[in-house]
Amino acid sequence: MKKALVLGGTRFFGKRLVQLLAESGMEVTVATRGMTEADLPPQVKRVTVDRDDVHSLATLGSEDWDVIYDNICYSSQNALDACEAFRGRVGRYVLTSTLSVYDFSPESLKEEDFDPYTYPIVSAPKEEVSYQEGKRQAEAVFFQQQAFPVIAARFPIVLAEDDYTRRLHFHVEHVSEGRPIGMVNPEAIMCFIHAQEAAEFLQWAGTVELKGPVNACSHGTIRLNALMDEIADTVGKPAILQEKTAEEDASPYGFPESFYMDNGKAGEAGFSFRTLDSWLPQLIRTLASQNS
């Protein structure tokens, strides 16, 4: 039986990934700080580990793993610790990365638009760097150290009913309540992925020979103003968009420029993405009904 270790797998797409792995017949171990309750399959083993403590992480390096899924790596130090703990102990390493490694762009972003193989590494804990820089550093360490085969799944904003960040919820709730939404560029183009699709992609990434950074998003894009129109039509109230608002009304999607990417590399390797319009309207309807 193949063995999978999931670093961070008790909520959102991590929890969905664990479910998929368990259903596939793998022996699954979930390592977290033990602070989140989760209804995981009974056969899944849970261990308590401090991801930011190399000695704690090293306790997992005493075993061999067919695949490790790392959903909670946010800095060069996190990545360096993983390389030290798992060198020679893992067949394949799947890093959850992000669209945020890129800069905003009016064009669809491709993997080569951020090159982790040449990016300068600066050793620092996650508290000392931004989210973007932390993920850039993590990728740079893994790909430059080459301690084991690594694929970095670059996700955009991940959506679902149980999204703990509640960023799409924010917009549905504001429209429902007639509150203004601060949005500096309603014409900005965005892409998304559903949490279930993200979990399916991670599972797939652990089974293929593909290496390096790989973009993963649903087919299709949407402008922010079109997203707000969709919400307004569903809720039955107008979306009140303003360039400036109180801080608590500022959109978490208030990007100054477009931010979307090309998923062609993954598609050519065999992963079949959903279309954005096959699930986003239904998700908006579900959130609207919950807020009515």
CATH number of domain containing 28: 3.40.50.720
Same domain, 90 and 174: no
Query: What's residue 11's pLDDT?
Result: 86
Same domain, 119 and 208: yes
- List the CATH number of the domain containing 287: 3.90.25.10
Same domain, 137 and 177: no
Q: How many other C-beta atoms can be found within 10 angstroms of the C-beta atom of residue 30?
A: 25
Question: Which residues, in sequence order, are CB contacts of 79 under 8 Å at separation 6+?
Answer: 73, 137, 138, 139, 140, 141, 142, 145
Query: What's residue 38's pLDDT?
Result: 75
Residue 265 within any structural domain of the chain: no
pTM of the complete model: 0.95
Read off φ and ψ for residue 90, nearest 5 degrees.
-140, 140
Same domain, 151 and 209: yes
Rounded Cα–Cα distance for residues 16 and 40 (Å): 9
Q: What are the pLDDT tens digits along the chain (292 aa)?
A: 899 999 998 889 999 999 999 999 999 999 988 667 778 889 999 999 998 998 999 999 889 999 999 999 999 999 999 999 999 999 999 999 999 999 999 999 999 999 999 999 998 888 899 999 999 999 999 999 999 999 999 999 999 999 999 999 999 999 999 999 999 999 999 999 999 999 999 999 999 999 999 999 999 999 999 999 999 999 999 999 999 999 999 999 989 999 999 999 999 999 999 999 999 999 999 999 997 7
Which residue range(s) make up the domain with 92?
3-157+193-215
Measuring CA to CA, which residue among 195, 134, 164, 170 is closest to residue 36?
164
Rounded Cα–Cα distance for residues 100 and 133 (Å): 9
Query: What's residue 117's pLDDT?
Result: 98
Same domain, 199 and 254: no
Same domain, 204 and 224: no
Rounded Cα–Cα distance for residues 169 and 185 (Å): 19
Same domain, 78 and 66: yes
Residue 267 within any structural domain of the chain: no
Residue 171 within any structural domain of the chain: yes
Query: What's residue 35's pLDDT?
Result: 62
Q: Are strands 150-155 and 212-215 parallel, antiparallel or unpaired?
A: parallel
Residue 269 within any structural domain of the chain: no
Residue 96: its H or E element: strand 90-98
Q: Which residue has the tokens 């989760």?
A: 38
Residue 24 within any structural domain of the chain: yes
Same domain, 146 and 165: no
Same domain, 284 and 187: yes
Contact 108, 260 (CB under 8 A): yes
Same domain, 135 and 250: no
Rounded Cα–Cα distance for residues 264 and 108 (Å): 11
Rounded Cα–Cα distance for residues 81 and 61 (Å): 11
Count up the domains in the chain and report the number. Answer: 2
Residue 266 within any structural domain of the chain: no
Contact 64, 120 (CB under 8 A): no
Same domain, 81 and 198: yes
Same domain, 67 and 7: yes
